[in-house]
Amino acid sequence: MRSVVNYQTDLLRTFVSVVDLGAFTKAGDALGRTQPAISLQMKRLEELVGAPIIKQVGRSLLLTSEGEMLLSYAREILRLNDEAASYFNRSKIAGVLRVGLPNDYAVAFLQGVITEYTREHPGISLELYCGWSGEILDRLRADELDLAVAMTDHERAQYLSRSWIERPVWAAAETAVFDPAIGVPLAAHPEGCAYRARMIQALDTARIRWRVAYTGPGISGLQNAVMNGLGVSALTRYTMLPGMRVLDPAEGFPPLAEIRVGLFYKHPRLSDAGIRLVNHIVARLDEAGISSDPGRGKVELQHQ
């Protein structure tokens, strides 16, 4: 019979806690264990892997390539384990969930997915924070959010659980006509927005003149500007509205670069309600056919 190596969930939970919380002592506090106990568990896990998963460089700890790979598996194993535990423990789900969403998702697909979940669990109080992706991830690091959806330039980022690709499209009012040969008026979010950057990059590369005809932080204002014919904008399929149309290369508009969006959370900080919400989001992404991949966290940890 083939020998099977079993990666115990308590060892994987310790590993993910060390990565997400950034220190052995913080992981121990979260799990109710001493630092020596955490160190022993990490050593046992390395024995099972057959290779180091964390190495010390100066005063910092870094994940090895084996550690990065293990982290992606560990997050998925723990998510499924906790989903099963939550299913068979049918206690009432209640509490406060603080969720961060990028501005462009505030009225789109994921907001609907999250509010759907809270309707199914009326004991949950939902607090939504909408802002720029950088601000959202800063709030997650500071434990001001329980989980976040944010745009990222990296396939390997701290706290990243799942990521998927969005391909923005050029959006215009159905009856509006724009001629790139004489310049393009843009409806855009303020500087720092990934969609704005991709519009400008695409037009500059194609040597098409542009000007910002409307700027504002909210997605609804952007949509209204497009609908009223003030300019064109970069939107996703979830933020296109009736009365809008997609501008294609045949009309002189160059393709827009893709955007990577991720689901981020600190596993040891999540309540049962949070774990269930993560699983609900993942299930809806799969149902919608949004391709996703486990995130691999290449992060620097502070040994304390």
Segments in the chain forming alpha helices (H): 9-21, 24-31, 35-49, 65-88, 109-120, 133-141, 194-205, 219-227, 272-287
Q: Model confidence over 89-112: pLDDT tens digits?
A: 666 677 889 999 987 765 567 878
Q: Could you tell me if 33 and 101 lie in one domain? A: no
Q: Could you tell me if 142 and 284 lie in one domain? A: yes
Q: Which residue has the higher pLDDT, 238 or 99?
A: 99
Q: Could you tell me if 241 and 264 lie in one domain? A: no
The owner of tokens 């310049």 is 183
What region does 25 belong to: left with phi over 0, alpha with psi -120 to 50, or beta?
alpha
Q: Model confidence over 68-92: pLDDT tens digits?
A: 999 989 999 998 898 888 777 666 6
Summary mean pLDDT of the chain? 86
Q: Is residue 303 part of a domain?
A: no
- Tell me, yes or no, if the pTM score tops 0.75: no
Q: Could you tell me if 80 and 215 lie in one domain? A: no
Q: According to the model, what pLDDT value does residue 183 have?
A: 93
Looking at the 3D structure of the chain, how many domains does it have? 3
The owner of tokens 């989903």 is 83
Q: Could you tell me if 97 and 78 lie in one domain? A: no
Residue 53 and residue 64 in contact, taking contact as beta carbons nearer than 8 Å: yes
Which positions ≥6 away from 119 have C-beta within 8 Å?
none
Residue 302 and residue 51 in contact, taking contact as beta carbons nearer than 8 Å: no
Q: Is the pLDDT of residue 300 over 60?
A: no
**What does each C-alpha distance from 194 to 180, 190, 198, 200 come to in angstroms?**
22, 10, 6, 10
What distance in Å separates the CA atoms of residue 234 and residue 188, rounded to the nearest whole number? 8
Q: Could you tell me if 31 and 56 lie in one domain? A: yes
**What does each C-alpha distance from 61 to 26, 52, 90, 94 come to in angstroms?**
14, 12, 39, 36
Q: Could you tell me if 156 and 267 lie in one domain? A: yes
What distance in Å separates the CA atoms of residue 246 and residue 231, rounded to the nearest whole number? 13
Q: Could you tell me if 263 and 194 lie in one domain? A: no
DSSP 295: -
In Å, the largest CA–CA distance within the chain is 73
Beta bridge partners of 152: 260
Q: According to the model, what pLDDT value does residue 161 have?
A: 87
Q: Which residue has the higher pLDDT, 186 or 236?
A: 186
- Structural domain including 71 reads 9-85
Q: Which of 204, 190, 185, 217 is nearest to 256 (CA)?
A: 204
Q: Is 303 exposed, middle or buried (0-12, 13-18, 19+ CB in 10 A)?
A: middle
Q: Could you tell me if 130 and 79 lie in one domain? A: no
What distance in Å separates the CA atoms of residue 275 and residue 269, rounded to the nearest whole number? 10
Q: Could you tell me if 173 and 241 lie in one domain? A: yes
Total residues found in the chain within this entry: 304
Q: Is residue 111 part of a domain?
A: yes
- In the structure encoding, which two tokens stand for residue 245, read together? 């149309």
Q: Could you tell me if 235 and 278 lie in one domain? A: no
The most confident of 21-25, 46-50, 111-115, 191-195, by mean pLDDT? 46-50
What distance in Å separates the CA atoms of residue 56 and residue 273, rounded to the nearest whole number? 35
Residue 101 and residue 128 in contact, taking contact as beta carbons nearer than 8 Å: yes
Q: Is residue 301 part of a domain?
A: no
Q: Could you tell me if 29 and 150 lie in one domain? A: no
Q: Model confidence over 154-192: pLDDT tens digits?
A: 767 789 988 888 889 999 999 999 999 899 999 998 887
CATH of the domain at 266: 3.40.190.10
Q: According to the model, what pLDDT value does residue 304 have?
A: 35
